[in-house]
Structure 1
Amino acid sequence: MFKVLTCLATAHDLRLVVVAAFVCFGGCFTAFRLYSRMREAAGVLVRAAWMLLTGLVAGCSVWATHFIAMLSFDTGLPSGFLPGGTLASLLVAVLFMGAAFAAAAVARTPPTRAVAGMLAGLGIAAMHYVGMSGYVTEGRLSRDLSLVAASIAIGAALAAAAMWKAQRAHSAERQVIAGLLLTLSICAVHFGGMAAITVIPDSSIQVPGQMLSSVMMTLAVTLIVGLIMLGGLAAVLIEGAANAQALNRLRRLADAAYEGIVVVRGDRIQDANAAFCAISAAQIDDLVDRPLTEMLDFDGLPVEGRREGRLRPVGGGAEIPVEAFARVLEPGKGEAAEDLTVLAVRDLRERRTAEEKIRYLAEHDGLTGLGNRNAMQKRLSQALEQAAASGEALAVICIDLDHFKEANDLHGHQAGDAVLTATAERLRRTVTAPSFAARLGGDEFVVIQIGAGHQPTAAAELCSTLLETLSTPVLYRDQNLRIGASLGVSLYPHDGDTGGALLAKADMALYRAKDSGRGVYAFFKREMDESIRERRGLARELREAIATDELVLHYQPLARAEDGAVCGFEALVRWRHPVRGLLPPMEFIPIAEESGLILPLGEWVLRQACADAAAWDNPLRIAVNLSPVQLHQPDLPALVHSVLVETGLNPSRLELEITETALFKDFQRALGNLRRLKALGVRIAMDDFGTGFSSLSTLQSFPFDKIKIDKSFVENIHRHDRATAIVRAVLSLGRSLDIPVTAEGVETPEQLEFLRAEACAEVQGYAIGRPAPLAADEEEAPARLTSHR
């Protein structure tokens, strides 16, 4: 090393050495710029042109460095250059450097990249010693072979490092580093080789004359090589500008895409759009040349297809679920294979969130957040499988809220929603895992008790806790809504071994609990099953009875209280059952309401009563009861009008009786139907007055044609002072509102005399006449009915 520095300092013109160094670095930097452009070029011919230009610039730079440095070398003896060796060294430099960059361009593995570096190093050494063959001085040249070998080895190593760096020399910074390494390689070979020379004077050696001085030769070489380098840089800049414009257009198009787009060569990112940068939380400069597998968690890169995986943001943070659509870019005609893959990367977070929401809604009740019927059935099946394997018991508890409809009708649907939400929250607090609660719909809930120990004791304890919890009033807009609950319980395996059987039997037990007065719980018993089967059988038979005329109407007279004259009849339906005999309404009307048969049954009664009344010679009124379901049917007025037209009955003779309770399911719709019926000329009577929850407000809302006092008050006249006072008050209210009052359930002469004394308008009951059917052989049926007095 000391010998090299000594040679450099004493035997060289340092000014020309500096010029040689600048020419060398400028040429090397330009060569790597051209090499980078060559690697990115598309098409064999275009790449070949870039490769030729790269080899030319690199070779000329190496040769110019050598030649200018040789001009700066001063032995104190006359010296010159032979054209043959000098031009041969230029040719060697261009050929070797072109071959080295070509090898680097196709290198894919470390050994092949090392070969490219060795070609560059050997090319520099070959150029130097071929060029030295054209150097002539008055003396013989003696070389230190060890120093020669060392300089060649160092030069080759530095050249290999430069070509290795050139594999990723996409940025100017890396190109500068590669240029510096190659410059050092050239300097090491040249100045190491020059330091190894010892000149032995020999006057017999003739030095040819030189056409130009050293200064002029230096300027000429520098100018020529500079022009070559400038031409190369100009080509880079011109093509770079054109590519930049095209790239900007493509990038704007890519940035407009919703999906992230990333271009990969092998495993390393070459480019990406704004969407991918946003997903990755990184700038484009941080992504280029980064291994894609560091970011995307795939089982290998997706090739020509779709694959889901997870993306790790560069800046850290939670992994992002993504799906990637990959396509390998095929080279066009005349283009070299680039081994490029384009991936469209889609962020799945929004879709996964939507899927989770859909999955949640599919398994949960939207209002309360409890599991819905589907989720309950699935979890119940799983619980039954586990219970069967472990031998444990399991309880199914059906819950129905008491007085929920009243609260919903009186305070609105928002109040009902508040009650349901509060109920669900209380169930969540009370029922602990692995047991669970679900909402089946409306005000129906179910609790599946799992692994609670001894049954039925554990179920009874839970039911008591639930009844206490659910009986607490629900606060809604500063009002306490008192909502209780009734519970029905079935046990596995005692009452069934399937979810459907256990739910059905818990529902039967619930029906019995509600029938027992509500606010209690009941366990399933075998006789309940028999009762339910009997009711279902009756429902089937009732459907047939309506179609086969097994129903019959009985008529009970209504009379004026003052003189006992009959002024009308009330139609009462009976069922002439082929096995059970004549059944009263209380035995089949509830079944008709549960099974949905109340509408065809009510229409049959209305049509038959109007037809019978229209055939009477005496135009007395006929009263027909309307069920709550009928009252809320939108087509009720049209049905009544149709029946009146078909039967020919005068509308003023038809009196429709409704109860107060029937109004409150949908108060506005009920009042609308009543007004339309009133417009037809039909009379409207309020039945069972005094048993509802808003009698006075109901009278204010609609002008009824009659009030009927419920028989529960009439039968207690003279027995209970309060009942007597209530009857007297209702009669006084009717007179004040100018609404006639009818007393039902009049059975004794004392009751009849009291009602006459209190100016009651009409009376009805056994004291006037019992319900009886029409006789087929009698023309004056009303007269026969009044004979029961």
Structure 2
Amino acid sequence: MVGVDINAAAVADALLLDAALENIPYGFCVWSPQFRLVMWNKHYREFYGFSANAIQKGMTLEEVVHLSHKLGNHPGQSPDAFYESYSSELLANRSGARSKNHEEVHGGRIVETAHVYTENLGWVVTHEDITDELLQSETVQKRKLELERQNIRLDAAVNNIPIGLCMMDAKGRLVICNEPYARIYNLPISYLRPGTQLEVILGHLFDEGMSAGGSGSREDYITWRREVIAKNEYGKNIHELNNRIILMQHHPMKDGGWVSTHEDITEQRQNEARIHHLARHDALTDLPNRIEFLEQMARTEAGLQRGEMAAVLYIDLDHFKAVNDTLGHAVGDEVIKQAAVRLWGTTRESDLLARLGGDEFALLLQPIDSADAAARVADRIIKAMGAPMNIKGQQIEIGASVGIAVGPGDGLDTDTLVKNADLALYKAKSEGRSTYHFFEAGMDAELQQRRLIEAGLRMALGRDEFRLVYQPLLGLRENQITCVEALLRWDFEGRTVSPTEFIPVAEETGLIAAIGQWVLNEACAAAATWPGHVRVAVNLSPVQFRQRDLVAQVRRALTGAKLDPARLELEITESLLLGDSESTLKALHELRAMGVRICMDDFGTGYSSLSYLRSFPFDKIKIDRSFMRDLASRADSQAIIRAVIGLGQSLGMSTTAEGVETEEQLSLVRAHGVSEVQGYLFSPPVSGEDLLDLLHTAVEIAKAS
């Protein structure tokens, strides 16, 4: 029957449709225009967790939403709120256009719903689980964001490294470069884009001033650079660009491209040059130092071997130590700088002047045709250094001593010439300073003797080799011994060494400090055994005033000997007061406040003796023995003696005439009103035992004279 056939066909179609709906890979349901459930498949039930009998045909949308909410779907929204929003969305979608929405279902899964409205059926809704797709998309997005962040960090790192960086591919196209690279070569922005050809950048570098060896055309430069890179020979190179020094390093890559680094090392090279200069030049004068001088001296040895002449002059500033000790290092430094300028003015362009250290300079004369030429230079040096210096309002006079060695006669190598010039300098200084001396055979023996003196001094105190002798001073008004000067003697290797020989060495080495302390202690102890009216005079070296505890040393010596401070006289020379050093004057005032008498020794031998009498209220002036020698025959000497004695009387200072050896000298100074006399007329320096005998018979000796 046809009807049966038609019905069977309809059933078959329905079963086929049902099978198709059940097997499609996403959920499916239909809502009637009245929001009632018409049909659905198993995926729809599974997405929302409905059991097989939980939902029925004809259920309203609101009922299904409430049931769905109970199963954990649509978290974060109440069922009523979800129903209102969902139904409103369906109603708004009656135009037939397809709309999509995302819903969160139980288990945290995400379902994408798509709605299509038809007049006959209502709303056909598909449901697709897109959780994995979203997760994958989110991962991709995260990776993309992380990659962007890494690129930002990489850009920041690359652009903030202190050197230029450039990467090229195998075809010579720019891959990446950083900001320092662009700044170094002043590259336009258009040249910084990836893909820029190497030739374009090389052409710009040439235009900026970079070239191969400083010559050639633009094309030559580009060709040369390409060939070097192609041969992988570039490595490390230094180029100059607009007075800047660029260090360029080329690093090939496996793919045929390369990375190059570009560093502006101008400041580094300048610092290296400064360090090299400082290592070989004196910081105070900027003259070559000992290292530079000896290195350049060594270059003359070949000429000396061929018989070419060269002269080495060793120069030492006279009296500099006294200036430095009394006026301070700031003034001493200024003296050194002015001395360097003056010395420079005596040289030729071919000569080499150096400061070896302290107050020592050296001058290499080359070429030179005779020893007389070296002598003429030495004369100019002595004359230049003899002129007074005006430093900080003070007039300072120093001078210079010069030792000369002329090669090849005085040496064929640097060491010999330098040593012999130093020996000649020592000789010049020993002969009175402000002079020059050529090297002579035998000078080495003198230096050895000086070194022997120094070595002996270092052990003299421990070996008990020092002793004191005493020379009395006769008070003319009292007609008796009023004071005794303690004089140091040194018995060394079977002879008595002259103080003029060992005292300068002791001062130069600093040994005078310990020796001076010993003298002070011994003299005070000896004076304690003399009659109470007799004072003891002790000479102090300027070096001793550099000791911060000098006043304490004097106090300990007096206390240890139980000697009245008024019985101690300390004799100082004018050089100590050069510049009115505050620390020196402070020490002198403290000593005088203790009751110790302060005497100016060798008055009249300095440059401005009178000015020093204003610096400190001395108790006594000792007139130097040099005025006594021709006192009887020269009226000017008598006038000077008379003036000094009168000056002392007006300032309330007593006066002592040193070196009185004749009755005529005694009569003259007595007539002029001198307070005391000292000299061989009365007594030479004697031992402590002989002094005691002399003190007991002093009155008779004075009467006899």
Written as runs of structure 1 = structure 2, the 5 A alignment for 1:50-449 is 250-266=154-170, 267-288=172-193, 289-291=196-198, 294=202, 308-311=236-239, 317-318=242-243, 320-322=245-247, 324=249, 343-388=260-305, 390-402=306-318, 412-413=331-332, 415-427=334-346, 430-433=347-350, 435-449=351-365
| In structure 2, C-alpha distance between the alignment counterparts of 1:414 and 1:302, rounded to whole Å | 60
TM-score (ref. length: structure 2):
0.66
User: What is aligned with 1:29?
Assistant: none
Please state whether the residue corresponding to 1:701 is helix, strand or coil. Answer: coil
Contact residue 304 and residue 413 of structure 2 kept, 8 A:
no
Contact residue 420 and residue 443 of structure 1 kept, 8 A:
no
> Which digits, 9 at most, give the CA deviation of each residue in 1:602-628, with x for residues without a partner?
222112111222234646311100122
- Cα gap change, 1:741 to 1:272, in 2 (>3 Å): same
Contact residue 365 and residue 371 of structure 1 kept, 8 A:
yes
User: What is aligned with 1:77?
Assistant: none
Instruction: For residue 640 of structure 1, report the CA deviation from its aligned partner.
Output: 1.8
- Cα gap change, 1:303 to 1:604, in 2 (>3 Å): farther
| In structure 2, C-alpha distance between the alignment counterparts of 1:595 and 1:482, rounded to whole Å | 24
Letter in 2 for 1:506: A
Letter in 2 for 1:682: V
Letter in 1 for 2:585: L
- Cα gap change, 1:256 to 1:567, in 2 (>3 Å): same
- Cα gap change, 1:640 to 1:326, in 2 (>3 Å): farther
User: What is aligned with 1:565?
Assistant: 480
- Cα gap change, 1:513 to 1:252, in 2 (>3 Å): same
Letter in 2 for 1:321: I
Instruction: For residue 417 of structure 1, report the CA deviation from its aligned partner.
Output: 4.8
- Cα gap change, 1:247 to 1:340, in 2 (>3 Å): farther
- Cα gap change, 1:709 to 1:615, in 2 (>3 Å): same
- Cα gap change, 1:258 to 1:422, in 2 (>3 Å): same
User: What is aligned with 2:640?
Assistant: 726
Please state whether the residue corresponding to 2:474 is helix, strand or coil. Answer: strand
Contact residue 405 and residue 665 of structure 1 kept, 8 A:
no
User: What is aligned with 1:747?
Assistant: 661
User: What is aligned with 1:646?
Assistant: 560
Letter in 2 for 1:783: H
Contact residue 389 and residue 396 of structure 2 kept, 8 A:
yes
Does structure 1 residue 550 correspond to structure 2 residue 457?
A: no
> Which digits, 9 at most, give the CA deviation of each residue in 1:3-52, with x for residues without a partner?
xxxxxxxxxxxxxxxxxxxxxxxxxxxxxxxxxxxxxxxxxxxxxxxxxx
Which of 671, 674, 677 does residue 591 from structure 2 map onto? 677
Contact residue 521 and residue 557 of structure 2 kept, 8 A:
yes
Letter in 1 for 2:355: R
Contact residue 310 and residue 319 of structure 1 kept, 8 A:
no
Instruction: For residue 724 of structure 1, report the CA deviation from its aligned partner.
Output: 1.6
Contact residue 342 and residue 385 of structure 2 kept, 8 A:
yes
Instruction: For residue 400 of structure 1, report the CA deviation from its aligned partner.
Output: 3.0
User: What is aligned with 1:521?
Assistant: 436
Instruction: For residue 340 of structure 1, report the CA deviation from its aligned partner.
Output: 6.6
| In structure 1, C-alpha distance between the alignment counterparts of 2:500 and 2:321, rounded to whole Å | 23
Instruction: For residue 273 of structure 1, report the CA deviation from its aligned partner.
Output: 1.9
Instruction: For residue 767 of structure 1, report the CA deviation from its aligned partner.
Output: 3.3
Contact residue 616 and residue 781 of structure 1 kept, 8 A:
no
| In structure 1, C-alpha distance between the alignment counterparts of 2:497 and 2:413, rounded to whole Å | 37
| In structure 1, C-alpha distance between the alignment counterparts of 2:523 and 2:392, rounded to whole Å | 48
Uncovered stretches (5+) of structure 2, i.e. residues with no partner: 1-142, 213-224
If each structure's helix is expressed as a fraction of its own residues, which one has the higher value? Answer: 1
Does structure 1 residue 532 correspond to structure 2 residue 460?
A: no
Please state whether the residue corresponding to 2:681 is helix, strand or coil. Answer: coil
Instruction: For residue 391 of structure 1, report the CA deviation from its aligned partner.
Output: 3.8
Letter in 2 for 1:562: R
User: What is aligned with 2:674?
Assistant: 760
Please state whether the residue corresponding to 1:369 is helix, strand or coil. Answer: coil
Letter in 1 for 2:158: A
Instruction: For residue 673 of structure 1, report the CA deviation from its aligned partner.
Output: 2.2
Instruction: For residue 690 of structure 1, report the CA deviation from its aligned partner.
Output: 1.9
| In structure 2, C-alpha distance between the alignment counterparts of 1:775 and 1:483, rounded to whole Å | 43
- Cα gap change, 1:246 to 1:555, in 2 (>3 Å): closer
Contact residue 428 and residue 437 of structure 2 kept, 8 A:
yes
User: What is aligned with 1:783?
Assistant: 696
Contact residue 165 and residue 180 of structure 2 kept, 8 A:
yes
Contact residue 619 and residue 652 of structure 2 kept, 8 A:
no
Please state whether the residue corresponding to 1:686 is helix, strand or coil. Answer: strand
Letter in 1 for 2:345: R
Please state whether the residue corresponding to 1:691 is helix, strand or coil. Answer: coil
| In structure 2, C-alpha distance between the alignment counterparts of 1:753 and 1:374, rounded to whole Å | 62
Instruction: For residue 667 of structure 1, report the CA deviation from its aligned partner.
Output: 2.7
Written as runs of structure 1 = structure 2, the 5 A alignment for 1:446-595 is 446-453=362-369, 455-460=370-375, 462-463=377-378, 485-580=400-495, 582-595=496-509
Contact residue 556 and residue 769 of structure 1 kept, 8 A:
yes
| In structure 1, C-alpha distance between the alignment counterparts of 2:388 and 2:524, rounded to whole Å | 48
Uncovered stretches (5+) of structure 1, i.e. residues with no partner: 1-238, 329-336
| In structure 2, C-alpha distance between the alignment counterparts of 1:740 and 1:645, rounded to whole Å | 27
Letter in 2 for 1:420: A
Which of 606, 611, 614 does residue 692 from structure 1 map onto? 606
- Cα gap change, 1:557 to 1:518, in 2 (>3 Å): closer
- Cα gap change, 1:243 to 1:631, in 2 (>3 Å): closer
Q: Percent identity?
A: 37
Instruction: For residue 311 of structure 1, report the CA deviation from its aligned partner.
Output: 4.8
| In structure 2, C-alpha distance between the alignment counterparts of 1:578 and 1:402, rounded to whole Å | 31
User: What is aligned with 2:21?
Assistant: none
> Which digits, 9 at most, give the CA deviation of each residue in 1:508-557, with x for residues without a partner?
21233344455543211113222222232233333333321222111111
Instruction: For residue 572 of structure 1, report the CA deviation from its aligned partner.
Output: 0.9
Letter in 1 for 2:331: G
| In structure 1, C-alpha distance between the alignment counterparts of 2:238 and 2:579, rounded to whole Å | 55
Contact residue 302 and residue 325 of structure 1 kept, 8 A:
no
Letter in 2 for 1:383: T
Please state whether the residue corresponding to 2:296 is helix, strand or coil. Answer: helix
User: How large is the Cα RMSD of the aligned pairs?
Assistant: 4.0
| In structure 2, C-alpha distance between the alignment counterparts of 1:740 and 1:747, rounded to whole Å | 20
User: What is aligned with 2:65?
Assistant: none
Letter in 1 for 2:310: L
Contact residue 399 and residue 510 of structure 1 kept, 8 A:
yes
